[in-house]
Amino acid sequence: MQFIDISTEQTTAFTDLILALVSVLGVVWIFKAGHRIDRQKTNIWSIAFIFLSLSAVLGAVAHGLKMPVEVNRLLWHPLNLFLGLCVAFFAIGVVYDFKQFKINKIVVIFILVVSIVFFGVTVLIPGLFIIFIIYEAIAMLFALTAYFILFIKKKLYAAKFMTVGILFSIIAAIVQSIKSFRINLIWEFDHNGLFHLIQIIGLLFLFSGLVKELRSRKIKIN
């Protein structure tokens, strides 16, 4: 296989790889900070970002390499599955924080079933990425509301970092939905590449919020 020769697809693939790397480093950071303080929270968020890393790697392959159309189409099936599970575990993590570090198994099952339904829709209607944008938007709006409430009521340390991170994620999703969006920053980026760049900023806030919250409980324990 050869690298694709479309500039915006090249930058999309490259930013996908950066997104994957940042996600992996974030998982390591979260695990080191929290596996001895709250293993369940650490596992939930680590799984979410592992799925994000996997989807980003597949996205880099799908956007960056020349391949038969059928192969590219098939590649999007596991990619959509990983994206759906990433959003699902993100939502589970939000509920876990909002409920003060506990969650009902029925809620977990419900959220995972919704993610599987999303994946089923992407299989039945391939190539319609707006489905994921809607699915992600619902999850992000729910998360934004939850962390904003926690921030106002001061019930979760570093909730403001989570709120800002989610705001960046929502902005990224809006940018990605505007297919005509293009900008030249040394290299040319389209809506997908810009989505990745903005999302990376959001991830940095999310990682900081998660780590700060976990470490704050360590201080209280000590």
Segment 50-67, tens digit of pLDDT: 999 999 999 999 999 999
Tokens 């597949």: give the residue. Answer: 58
The tens digit of pLDDT for each residue in 127-153 reads 666 777 788 889 999 999 999 999 999
Give the integer Cα–Cα distance in Å for 140 and 164.
11
**pLDDT (tens digit, 9 = 90+) per residue, 61-88?**
999 999 999 999 899 999 999 999 999 9
Q: 3-state DSSP helix/strand/coil percent for the chain, to nearest 5? A: 80, 5, 15
In the numeric block, the tokens 């940095």 are attached to: 204
Q: The whole model's pTM is what?
A: 0.93
User: What would the 3-class secondary structure string for 144-199 be?
Assistant: HHHHHHHHHCCCCCCHHHHHHHHHHHHHHHHHHHCCCCEEEECEEEEHHHHHHHHH
